[in-house]
Structure 1
């Protein structure tokens, strides 16, 4: 079952050196979540052969342009493609007004409904859940209200051990095994213990997205132990004071958060346009947290469920 992160954009305030504004696409068991939607996101979706109409949920961390200016273009494209299903957008106060104002003055009535959820930038909250996954937000520390997002698979059912299943076991009994139950006959006699015929559930995976934020250890409880963490690293360590003043993080600060949160792997991005070569970002971060990779546009990061 899929759990894949696709990097669509990796740069900060300005596109530069072939890098684009922040945007990521997370595929969890065929749930397609768009996380931030900077300028050129729909072009990047097309470039990397991502199917736009599969996106049903969009999460916008904050209202700085490099994180949402691609949204209206994507909304209009979905309209032109005759989308019919509802689109759920999660964003900060003001985003609904931005969307409705542009629709009003372009005299556009969409083929589909937008269901908007305003984020609470001060408290964590559950945003979405179904039988597969839950998505929640948590506060980040930036110049404007900003949220991070946590995607967690729900517990999975036990797996049938086909090597140990009786040959003539009924479908009803198989259903009970999948629910984790033992099997009894009509008289209440134990026929099979669940643990004897099943294997442990596959791993439930998790991903945390920390958009623009200064170094702040209070986010650690929200991201503790996730399999994959994206944390902005706008500047190299030499610009630490400037990072603090602009409410951003450095490479080592992002890595320190990953280390203290005991995450599985760290992805760093949101590079400042002042840097052409981002190789030093990786060098600095790995010195603190070795299992670090760069956010590279077009690359997909898979989390196995072994």
Structure 2
């Protein structure tokens, strides 16, 4: 099975702390590397995670609050100093494009590569990126500014070859791709060999949903149904539910309700308020509703 990993670079909220960096993650899928959000210190965390800067092909920004995007210009500048030549794609709310262009003119003139901006409509559920192995889809969220999450969904792969059967029927190597794609085989004697005798089922397609800053949305689970891994903000515990409502954030219990209703396989809590020295309170709260819950922390690598 090809690698599908989520690297937590930062999982704190807006107030800086000595414990957590602001929001940033890396999604690694089939040798492709994508970044989600880019708070301050993201490139320092890239170094600490030993993720090669040159492999990051795109950045997906959830919304335009500083703790999710203040690290962008430093990252773009560093790419230039490293001699990058491949385009760097930025997916973000449309309002960010003139700001990004202005900042690049001031701080990043003469880059040796192109920064390609892709405006995102945060109010619509839509595929914004697609290649042969995956799609990235927006998840409309409800925050104080336009905001969306992102759903990384692996495409279904081909079946696995049964080497013993290939050898038994003397099928040439040139035909293996056709067999993987579902073709049957006809022997020299005219016998037709069904594909399911020559192959084993493909690995199940995997999915990861990143739900950035949002108030509790009772209908959100319908867009997350059955995902393998869900990251959901959990800024507060249940005793601060009114504060969460005022600032359009979620409690750990509310994140767990979304995970339970969506029937996801695993939940990761993040975006912790600076008020918590020990987030185990949030973990315990969530696990009473959705037991398969873990806390994010810097340096955590999660296999999807």
CA distance in 1, matches of 2:296, 2:193: 49
Counterpart residue number, 2:65: 64
SS in 1 for 2:167: coil
CA distance in 2, matches of 1:124, 1:111: 34
Return the offset for 1:17. 3.3
Return the offset for 1:292. 0.2
Counterpart residue number, 1:271: 272
TM-score in terms of structure 1 length = 0.96
CA distance in 1, matches of 2:165, 2:80: 52
CA distance in 2, matches of 1:244, 1:139: 18
Counterpart residue number, 2:173: 171
Counterpart residue number, 2:39: 38
Asked if 2 retains the 8 angstrom alpha-carbon contact of 1:7 and 1:24, the reply is: yes
Return the offset for 1:185. 5.7
Counterpart residue number, 1:74: 75
Asked if 2 retains the 8 angstrom alpha-carbon contact of 1:255 and 1:286, the reply is: yes
Return the offset for 1:166. 3.0
Return the offset for 1:107. 6.2
Q: Residues 207 and 98 of structure 1: is their aligned pair in 2 closer, same or farther, counting only changes over 3 Å? A: same
Asked if 1 retains the 8 angstrom alpha-carbon contact of 2:28 and 2:34, the reply is: yes
Counterpart residue number, 1:88: 89
SS in 2 for 1:164: helix
Return the offset for 1:109. 1.9
Q: How does 1:91-240 map to 2 (within 5 A)?
A: 91-106=92-107, 108-167=109-168, 168-184=170-186, 189-240=190-241
SS in 1 for 2:163: coil
Asked if 1 retains the 8 angstrom alpha-carbon contact of 2:212 and 2:232, the reply is: yes
Moved more, 155-164 or 226-235: 155-164
SS in 2 for 1:163: helix
CA distance in 2, matches of 1:48, 1:173: 41
SS in 2 for 1:214: coil
Asked if 2 retains the 8 angstrom alpha-carbon contact of 1:229 and 1:267, the reply is: yes
Runs of 4+ displaced beyond 6 Å: none
| Cα deviation digits, residues 62-84 of structure 1 (max 9, x gap) | 00000000011000000110100
Aligned residues: 302
SS in 2 for 1:84: coil
Return the offset for 1:190. 4.1
Return the offset for 1:186. 8.4
Output the aligned Cα RMSD: 1.4
CA distance in 2, matches of 1:42, 1:106: 17
SS in 2 for 1:267: strand
Asked if 1 retains the 8 angstrom alpha-carbon contact of 2:139 and 2:211, the reply is: no
CA distance in 1, matches of 2:45, 2:59: 15
CA distance in 2, matches of 1:122, 1:266: 24
CA distance in 1, matches of 2:143, 2:51: 30
Return the offset for 1:208. 0.2
Asked if 1 retains the 8 angstrom alpha-carbon contact of 2:187 and 2:193, the reply is: no
CA distance in 2, matches of 1:192, 1:135: 38
Asked if 2 retains the 8 angstrom alpha-carbon contact of 1:103 and 1:109, the reply is: no
SS in 2 for 1:288: coil
Q: Residues 241 and 213 of structure 1: is their aligned pair in 2 closer, same or farther, counting only changes over 3 Å? A: same
The unaligned stretches of length 5 or more in structure 2 are: none
CA distance in 2, matches of 1:213, 1:11: 15
